[in-house]
């Protein structure tokens, strides 16, 4: 077969929920077909590098299984039996049912539910315009960033840090609780530059030997949920050995004698017992960063997905503060830049349309909510209708057995707008076909760098696929919400948002670089004039209530349960004789959450769902490599294939990737084992924190 010639190459942006937000050069083969996708060489952060899953995007965009037409369910829930209908039939039915349900059960019985399948704000956040206009139930956004952002802001007061490209100028790069080789490849581009150009050492802190850890000069393989203990012992050594920057502590932090004596007890021996590291490993790490205070701490999301994740994030962040790393170009800590966009999105989200206070339902608790848990429903009535865009809750949310039970309710009217027949779409009453990023216009932010990028439509959509913006407008028209309807196109929505936000003219931005750089001045991003608290001081002693107010979020515990100063708290799900293993569910390289589960390249690379286990544990349980195993706890059980792997600690097992349920024998996936209990202080799911048993499967 001859290779098709590209008609042209078009510049757009990767829409996926990945901190890198790469600028892309996409081959357009004809008006409806894309070819090769490459990373833009002239974008300073992308620097010509993208991940393999998006390089192969043609497999996904041109996939024969895309949803092309609106569908109505014809068999029982989840039967997969659907019949094609027209857009008008589908939208009219949705409008009629939503009005009926509202009349009978109240507006709060309808729950628009979305997440970050696209990170484009017009198509991601427009659902809130409809929600606000109708006073439908709110969504409390907890699934991804709630825990980590909380821990970071508790210290700095603002979600920003030294420009990620500055990593190349540091003397030591610490990659903590993130696996960028899998999840944000561009971090490696800049980290490796520091090593090549300056001889910087690369440290990786994780709970198993990831592909990122394989590249490390110093690998710190700790037990899950113990990062806080490691951080405290490192600070103990810095103070003990005069490696702390006492001047910086005085001028820029709330450090005091009480904290000093608190840390005096946190010895390397104490932390060694908790983390599983040797005291010598902890000493070596403390001395490496202590002698190289121009250290760049790249703090990931992964280590925050623990019940003590917010306090561990705060503890890890406290190390560069004790070193005074923030003083140096190439030094400090970075988690996300999401505090710097300064966007006015009010016309997208319809913020002004909100009439009254409405209950805010926790998206991670969709299982308890749909099965009628009164606390999860906040004392209100049941949810009777769901409108779902950009997310696959049947696979990605915790407490899956409850989620499934909820979706199976015959009295629940479920609308899913999707690109593929996901396991969520299969539970729908009405499925609507959605466009992909190359088929609509939007702008994209993501926390991993400093830019906001415009991503234009470059090909026509297949079949009758329509963008989210269209669906929200059309439903709004039919449920008596004229305020939520806008005649503006998606491109006009972008232009208006840019202009309201003071970003400038979209035509000019597009003709120039395609992006708006929101980098703060270098000294500001390193908090030279003080941290973002009224006294300008970094908080080793967090004011959790002030943190809550800053974030506009809710307490899920008694505030007095939060530690008064940087600390390690053992809140993780306890292991026991019956559930002796700690499970983490770390992302796979060629899936993005549950996306790409349908593409052949990803299916081939990820293979069958597997469980990594230490050889000593496998020997003790008499399990062979490749054996079918069952893992379980009080929430349910899941079948996987055993892979013996010496790159983790005994007592820890890892299941990589969100495979579809149907890829598992017995049809239940990994989130069956994960709890939806909200993580302190403000909620979120502890995806990498579950106690489980492991047994040989019985056929």
Ligand X SMILES: Nc1nc2c(c(=O)[nH]1)N[C@H]1C(S)=C(S)[C@@H](COP(=O)(O)OP(=O)(O)OC[C@H]3O[C@@H](n4cnc5c(=O)[nH]c(N)nc54)[C@H](O)[C@@H]3O)O[C@H]1N2
Binding stretches for ligand X (CB under 6 A): 17-18, 115-118, 123, 143-144, 177-179, 182-184, 205-208, 210, 222, 224-225, 227, 300-303, 305-306, 389-392, 396, 417-420, 422, 434, 468, 584-589, 591-595, 658, 670-671, 674, 687-688
Helix (H, G, I), strand (E, B) or coil at 21: coil
The answer to the question of residue 20 lying near ligand SF4 (CB under 6 A) is yes
Q: What would the x/- binding string for Mo ion be over residues 126 to 165, using CB under 5 A?
A: ------------------x---------------------
Q: Which residues contact 612 (CB under 8 A, 6 or more apart)?
A: 208, 643, 645, 647, 648, 653, 654, 655, 656
For 172-192, b/e burial (b = at least 16 CB within 10 A) is: bbbbbbbbbbbbbbbbbbbbb
d(CA 216, CA 251): 34
The answer to the question of residue 436 lying near ligand SF4 (CB under 6 A) is no
C-beta of 478 vs 524, nearer to ligand X: 478
Rounded to a whole number of angstroms, the minimum distance from the CB of residue 186 to ligand SF4 is 6
Token pair listed for 691: 């106690």
C-beta of 455 vs 678, nearer to ligand SF4: 455
C-beta of 144 vs 153, nearer to Mo ion: 144
The answer to the question of residue 658 lying near Mo ion (CB under 5 A) is no
d(CA 176, CA 301): 9
* Cβ-defined contacts of 279-282 (< 8 Å, 24+): 281/220, 282/230, 282/233, 282/234, 282/237
Q: Which residues pair with 653 in a beta bridge?
A: 583
Which among ligand SF4, Mo ion, ligand X, none contacts residue 20 (Cβ within 5 to 8 A by kind)?
ligand SF4
Candidate list 10, 11, 12, 18; residue touching ligand SF4; CB under 6 A:
18
Which range, of 17-25, 415-423, 494-502, 536-544, touches ligand SF4 by CB under 6 A? 17-25
Number of residues that bind ligand SF4 (CB under 6 A): 12
Rounded to a whole number of angstroms, the minimum distance from the CB of residue 185 to ligand SF4 is 5
Candidate list 185, 295, 396, 509; residue touching ligand SF4; CB under 6 A:
185
Which range, of 14-22, 88-96, 120-128, 334-342, touches ligand SF4 by CB under 6 A? 14-22
The answer to the question of residue 153 lying near ligand SF4 (CB under 6 A) is no
Per the listing, tokens 């390193």 go with 526
Helix (H, G, I), strand (E, B) or coil at 417: strand
C-beta of 114 vs 544, nearer to ligand X: 114
C-beta of 444 vs 571, nearer to ligand SF4: 444
Is the separation of the CB atoms in 109 and 381 below 8 Å?
yes
The answer to the question of residue 22 lying near ligand SF4 (CB under 6 A) is yes
Which among Mo ion, ligand X, ligand SF4, none contacts residue 303 (Cβ within 5 to 8 A by kind)?
ligand X
Rounded to a whole number of angstroms, the minimum distance from the CB of residue 616 to ligand SF4 is 36
- Angle in degrees, CA 666, 670, 673, rounded to 5: 100
Rounded to a whole number of angstroms, the minimum distance from the CB of residue 113 to Mo ion is 16
C-beta of 128 vs 183, nearer to Mo ion: 183
The answer to the question of residue 54 lying near ligand SF4 (CB under 6 A) is yes
**Sign of the four-CA dihedral 162, 167, 171, 176:** positive
Would you state the torsion angle of the CA atoms of residues 497, 500, 505, 509, taken in this order, to the nearest 10 degrees? -50
Which among Mo ion, ligand SF4, ligand X, none contacts residue 168 (Cβ within 5 to 8 A by kind)?
none
d(CA 351, CA 349): 5
d(CA 149, CA 304): 9
The answer to the question of residue 479 lying near ligand SF4 (CB under 6 A) is no
Candidate list 10, 26, 50, 691; residue touching ligand SF4; CB under 6 A:
50
d(CA 297, CA 307): 22
Q: Which of 601, 603, 611 has its CA nearest to residue 659?
A: 603
Rounded to a whole number of angstroms, the minimum distance from the CB of residue 522 to ligand X is 24
Per the listing, tokens 């076909």 go with 433
Token pair listed for 639: 């079948």
Token pair listed for 415: 């609308």
Which among ligand SF4, Mo ion, ligand X, none contacts residue 185 (Cβ within 5 to 8 A by kind)?
ligand SF4
C-beta of 581 vs 591, nearer to ligand X: 591
Which among ligand SF4, ligand X, Mo ion, none contacts residue 315 (Cβ within 5 to 8 A by kind)?
none
E strands along 160-285, which residues? 172-176, 201-206, 218-221
Cis omega before residue 200 (within 30°)? no
Which among ligand SF4, ligand X, Mo ion, none contacts residue 539 (Cβ within 5 to 8 A by kind)?
none
Rounded to a whole number of angstroms, the minimum distance from the CB of residue 391 to ligand X is 3
Would you state the torsion angle of the CA atoms of residues 238, 242, 244, 247, taken in this order, to the nearest 10 degrees? 160
Give the number of other Cβ atoms within 10 Å of residue 545's Cβ: 12
Helix (H, G, I), strand (E, B) or coil at 509: helix
Residues at the interface with ligand SF4 (CB under 6 A): 14, 16, 18, 20-22, 50-51, 54, 184-185, 592
Residues at the interface with Mo ion (CB under 5 A): 144
């Amino acid at each position: 077969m001859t290779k098709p010639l590209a008609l042209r190459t078009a510049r757009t942006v990767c829409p996926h929920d990945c901190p890198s937000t790469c600028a892309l050069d996409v081959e357009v083969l004809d008006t409806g077909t894309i070819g090769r996708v490459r990373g833009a060489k002239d974008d300073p952060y992308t620097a010509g590098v993208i991940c393999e899953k998006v390089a192969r995007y043609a497999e996904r965009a041109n996939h024969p299984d895309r949803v092309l037409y609106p569908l109505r369910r014809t068999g029982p829930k989840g039967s997969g039996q659907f019949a094609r209908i027209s857009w008008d039939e589908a939208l009219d039915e949705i409008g009629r049912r939503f009005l009926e349900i509202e009349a009978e059960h109240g507006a709060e019985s309808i729950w628009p539910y979305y997440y970050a399948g696209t990170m484009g704000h017009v198509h991601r956040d427009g659902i809130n315009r409809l929600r606000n206009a109708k006073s439908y139930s709110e969504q409390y956004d907890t699934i991804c960033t709630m825990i980590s952002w909380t821990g970071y802001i508790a210290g700095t007061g603002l979600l920003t840090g030294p420009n990620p490209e500055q990593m190349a100028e540091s003397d030591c790069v610490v990659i903590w609780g993130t696996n960028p080789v899998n999840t944000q490849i561009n971090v490696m581009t800049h980290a490796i530059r520091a090593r090549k150009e300056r001889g910087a050492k690369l440290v990786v802190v994780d709970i198993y030997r990831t592909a990122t850890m394989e590249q490390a000069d110093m690998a710190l393989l700790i037990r899950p949920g113990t990062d806080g203990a490691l951080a405290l012992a490192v600070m103990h050594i810095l103070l003990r050995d005069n490696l702390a920057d006492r001047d910086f502590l005085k001028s820029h932090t709330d450090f005091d004698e009480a904290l000093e004596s608190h840390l005096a007890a946190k010895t390397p021996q104490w932390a060694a017992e908790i983390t599983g590291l040797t005291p010598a490993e902890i000493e070596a790490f403390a001395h490496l960063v202590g002698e190289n205070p121009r250290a760049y701490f790249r703090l990931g999301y992964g280590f925050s997905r623990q019940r003590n994740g917010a306090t561990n994030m705060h503890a890890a962040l406290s190390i560069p503060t004790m070193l005074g790393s923030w003083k140096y170009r190439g030094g400090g800590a970075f988690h996300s830049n999401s505090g710097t966009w300064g966007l006015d999105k009010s016309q997208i989200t319809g913020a002004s349309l909100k009439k009254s206070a409405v209950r805010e339902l926790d998206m991670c608790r969709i299982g308890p909510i749909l099965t009628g848990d009164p606390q999860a429903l906040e004392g209100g009535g049941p949810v009777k209708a769901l409108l779902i865009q950009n997310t696959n809750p049947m696979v990605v949310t915790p407490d899956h057995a409850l989620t499934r039970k909820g979706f199976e309710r015959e009295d629940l009217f479920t609308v899913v707008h999707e690109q593929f027949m996901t396991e969520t779409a299969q539970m729908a009453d009405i499925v609507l076909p959605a466009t992909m990023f190359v088929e609509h216009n939007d702008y994209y932010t993501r926390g991993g760098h400093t830019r906001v990028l415009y991503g234009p439509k470059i090909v026509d959509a297949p079949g009758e696929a329509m963008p989210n913006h269209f669906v929200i407008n059309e439903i709004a028209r039919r449920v008596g919400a004229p305020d939520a309807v806008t005649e503006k196109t998606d491109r006009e929505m972008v232009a208006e948002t840019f202009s309201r936000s003071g970003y400038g003219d979209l035509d000019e931005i597009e003709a120039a670089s395609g992006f708006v750089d929101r980098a703060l001045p270098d000294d500001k991003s390193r908090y030279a004039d003080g941290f973002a608290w009224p006294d300008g001081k970094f908080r080793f002693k967090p004011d959790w209530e002030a943190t809550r107010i800053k974030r506009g979020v809710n307490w899920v515990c008694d505030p007095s349960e939060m530690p008064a100063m940087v600390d390690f708290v053992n809140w993780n799900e306890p292991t026991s004789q019956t559930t002796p293993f700690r499970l983490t569910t770390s992302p796979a390289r060629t899936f993005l959450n549950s996306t790409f589960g349908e593409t052949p390249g990803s299916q081939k690379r990820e293979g069958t769902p597997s469980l990594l286990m230490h050889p000593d544990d496998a020997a003790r349980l008499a399990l062979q490599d490749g054996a079918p195993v069952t893992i379980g706890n009080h929430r349910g059980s899941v079948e996987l294939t055993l892979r013996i792997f010496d790159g983790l600690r005994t007592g820890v097992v890892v299941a990589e990737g969100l495979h579809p349920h149907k890829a598992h024998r017995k049809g239940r996936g990994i989130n069956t084992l994960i709890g939806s209990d909200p993580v302190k202080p403000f909620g979120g799911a502890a995806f990498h924190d579950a106690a489980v048993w492991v047994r040989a499967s019985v056929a």
